[in-house]
Structure 1
Amino acid sequence: MNNLKLYIIIAFCVLTNSINAQQDSKAIKIVENAIDAMGGKSFLKSISTLYCNSETQMDERAVNWITKEMIPNKGSFEIIYQDRTVYKSWYDGKLGYQLSDGKKVLANQDQFKDKEFKKNIFNEFDYLDTSLYKLEYVSIEDVESRKCNKIKATLINGKITYLYFDLKTSLLTKSETVKDGEANSFSTVIYGDYSKFKKLTYFTKMRFGSNADAQSAKIIELFYNEKINETDFK
């Protein structure tokens, strides 16, 4: 009888491990399909810089957000109002900075704590890096009236992000990042209106929250492998 119980336990463990392996394999395939839908692995890997200019509203004023990224993890963010830079922060690959009264100063490094784990312009490649993330397939769920595959991505520092990929297009529709220490509280971004920028298929609309009236932004310019150089992160 004891041997029978042991066999049942072993069989259960083997079955559970097999199911988990299948889920991981499915999650990986979903992310790979997203990469293909965006333009393909070899093409995306050829992109070393990404420049985006987005229109949005802040305090009922029309502003532009300028984001610049350079492989592997350099990045900058600017808020432009009436052709003036009213805010700027950037990461030079090691430390984060911001402008204060027109002068370069060290920023709160907590803003950049995930940068050390970034190796690619496109997050999809980082998700597939087993030294950075563990992927788990969760389920099929509805997002904005679309059926989506839901994946759990756990970064090695413990940060958890849920990713929703459209079943029809394979493209990312929503991301939910679990807020620090709050298992049921999420930072949500909805992605939509994918367009072609030469060979790159990329979202042009972002909404920062699940509610229809949450803040949104629209990308009006996107360039890759141009308009950016090392001095942007000095």
Structure 2
Amino acid sequence: MKLLTTAITICSVFAAHQTAFSQSTNETKAKEIIEKAIDTTGGKDLLSSIKTLYTKSSTVMDGRNVNYITKEMAPNMGSFEIEYQGRIVYRSWFDGKTGYETVNGEKKVADQEEFKDKLDRKYIMNEIAYLDPSLYKAEFVGTDQENKLQLVKVTAKDGSVTNLYYDTESFLLKKEVHENPAKGSFSTTLCTEYKKYGDLNYCSKTTLRSENGDQVMTLLDLYYNKNIRKSDFKF
């Protein structure tokens, strides 16, 4: 009986060691893939140096041609605007502590649950954040040989999960699936084209998939580290 107990104990320790080794290996490989993705989009020095980011994209919403405008400032300030026929018809923004929105010209405090994930942000570029263990846990899941994609799962502090699909050759991000169990939300984003903006290689054509159909966004303009100030996010 004593020998059996000893054998079981040894097997349990060995299994636990193997599990820990496997997890460590998966984390190491995930970080290697993310680092290669960083290299192919401009390098760690460039991505880490980006403290403000502006994008303007064109899309179709409810049958109308509109533009989406985003502004971001490190560590966690940001705004989103919908522009229709040269006029801003909707705006939401976060000043680093509180989220607001403007609807029909009226400014008001927004539902703070919508901005909860902003509180932990430290970086503009997501891949830099994924390498920070205080924000995310990264794991390599596997390789889709048929579509030539490598899947990396990153789990945020709030429990939300983002599945990242990187091209096995270029290491560019091709698909992103975001899940938030707490909110019951699920979204899929496809990146079909990339373009250089200065030294930054960035997704220039994006498809958002949902139950209501696909929405295609084409990037019209992007610049970083200029023309954005803290005053842009004040109430």
TM range (shorter): over 0.9
Structure 1: how far apart are the matches of 2:119 and 2:22? 32
Letter in 2 for 1:135: A
Q: State whether structure 2 residue 161 is matched by structure 1 residue 160.
A: yes
Query: Does the residue aligned with 2:23 lie in a helix, a strand or coil?
Result: helix
How far residue 172 of structure 1 moved from its aligned partner, in angstroms, is 1.1
Q: Tell me which residue corresponds to 1:232.
A: 232
Letter in 2 for 1:97: Y
Q: Tell me which residue corresponds to 1:171.
A: 172
Q: Tell me which residue corresponds to 2:92.
A: 89
Q: How many residues were matched structurally? A: 230
Q: Tell me which residue corresponds to 2:125.
A: 122
Q: Tell me which residue corresponds to 1:53.
A: 56
How far residue 210 of structure 1 moved from its aligned partner, in angstroms, is 7.1
Q: Tell me which residue corresponds to 2:221.
A: 221
How large is the Cα RMSD of the aligned pairs? Answer: 1.8
Instruction: Judge conservation of contact 1:72–1:118 (CA < 8 Å) in 2.
Output: yes
Structure 1: how far apart are the matches of 2:143 and 2:65? 37
Structure 1: how far apart are the matches of 2:120 and 2:183? 22
TM-score by length of 1: 0.93
Instruction: Judge conservation of contact 1:188–1:210 (CA < 8 Å) in 2.
Output: yes
Q: Deviations over 1:199-233 (max 9, x none)?
A: 0000001111179x611101010111123112211
Counterpart of 1:71 (choices 65, 70, 74) is 74
Q: State whether structure 2 residue 17 is matched by structure 1 residue 14.
A: yes
Q: State whether structure 2 residue 140 is matched by structure 1 residue 137.
A: yes
Structure 2: how far apart are the matches of 1:230 and 1:181? 31
User: What's the % identity of the aligned pairs?
Assistant: 43
How far residue 181 of structure 1 moved from its aligned partner, in angstroms, is 4.7
Moved more, 149-158 or 51-60: 149-158
Residues 140 and 182 (structure 1 numbering): CA distance in 2 closer, same or farther, change over 3 Å? farther
Q: Tell me which residue corresponds to 2:149.
A: 148
Q: Tell me which residue corresponds to 2:208.
A: 208
Q: Which runs of 5+ in 2 are unaligned?
A: none
Query: Does the residue aligned with 1:30 lie in a helix, a strand or coil?
Result: helix
Instruction: Judge conservation of contact 1:189–1:209 (CA < 8 Å) in 2.
Output: yes
How far residue 182 of structure 1 moved from its aligned partner, in angstroms, is 7.9
TM-score by length of 2: 0.92
Letter in 2 for 1:43: L
Q: Which runs of 5+ in 1 are unaligned?
A: none
Q: Tell me which residue corresponds to 2:39.
A: 36
